[in-house]
Chain A
Amino acid sequence: AQTVTQSQPEMSVQEAETVTLSCTYDTSESNYYLFWYKQPPSRQMILVIRQEAYKQQNATENRFSVNFQKAAKSFSLKISDSQLGDTAMYFCASADGSARQLTFGSGTQLTVLP
C-alpha cells in the first residue's frame, strides 16, 4: 500500500514570488511514479508535473519543478514567478508501476496574492 502526506493545509504567496509545497510518501514498490495535480475552483484536476522514481533528475515544467529525494521519500513542488492563476488546491499523488491508480495526499490550498 502507498501513503502520501501533505503537511501544509494552506499556503499563500505574493504574485511573482516563489513557493514550495511539501510532500512525503511511503511505498514498498520499487517501480512507482509521483505526481502533482492542481485543482482550481473550476474542479478540473490538471496534471502539473510527473516524476518517474527510477529517474534521478528532477522533473521541470516551465515555472514548476520538483525536488525528488528518493532516500528521504520526499517530493516537493516549487512554483517560481507565481501567478494569480496558480491559485488552486494542489494534490501530491503516487501510483505504482503496474496498478496505475492514484493515491492522493490531503492537499494544500495555495492562494496567490496580488
Chain B
Amino acid sequence: DTEVTQTPKHLVMGMTNKKSLKCEQHMGHRAMYWYKQKAKKPPELMFVYSYEKLSINESVPSRFSPECPNSSLLNLHLHALQPEDSALYLCASSELRGANTEAFFGQGTRLTVV
C-alpha cells in the first residue's frame, strides 16, 4: 500500500466555520507533512511531524492547527479562515531514516473559503 488518503477531496466553508482535513497513510512512515498549494505555484510547506511530534511550523497563522493522533493519521483543523486561504492542501509522508527518501503525496483537498 503506497497510498496517502486525504478527505474530503473538496471543501467549501464560511469564514466562521470550523472544519478539519484528514490524512491517512499505512506505509509505516514516521514523517508527515502539510503543504499549501496555490494555482500554478509550487507547494509551500506548512507543518512537519516527525515521530508524531511537531518538528516544523513554517510560521503558519494560528487559524490552522495541526494534529497527529498517531503514526498513521494527520489532521489539519481550520477555524476562522480568510478567502486568501483558499487553496489545494496536500498531505505527504516519508521515511525518516534509510535511503528511501521519496515523499508520497495524497490527492489533496481543494478548499474554498467564502
Contact = CB atoms under 8 A, between A and B. Distances in A.
Contacts of B69: none
A105 B31 CA distance: 22
Contacts of B102: 35, 47, 50
Interface string B85-114: 000101010111001011111111010000
A109 interface: yes
Contact of B101 (A91, A100, A107): A100
B43 A52 contact: no
Contacts of B48: 101
Interface in A35-54: 35, 37, 42-47, 50, 52
Contact of B90 (A45, A100, A106): A45
A102 B103 contact: yes
A33 B99 CA distance: 10
Contacts of A52: 99, 101
Contacts of B43: 45, 91, 102, 104
Nearest to A47: B102
Contacts of A104: 42-43
B101 A45 contact: no
A44 B108 CA distance: 7
B56 interface: yes
A95 interface: yes
Which of A50, A100, A107 lies at the interface centre, i.e. has the most chain B CB atoms within 10 A of its CB? A100
A101 B45 CA distance: 8
Interface of B: 31, 33, 40-43, 45, 48, 56, 88, 90, 92, 94-96, 99, 101-108, 110
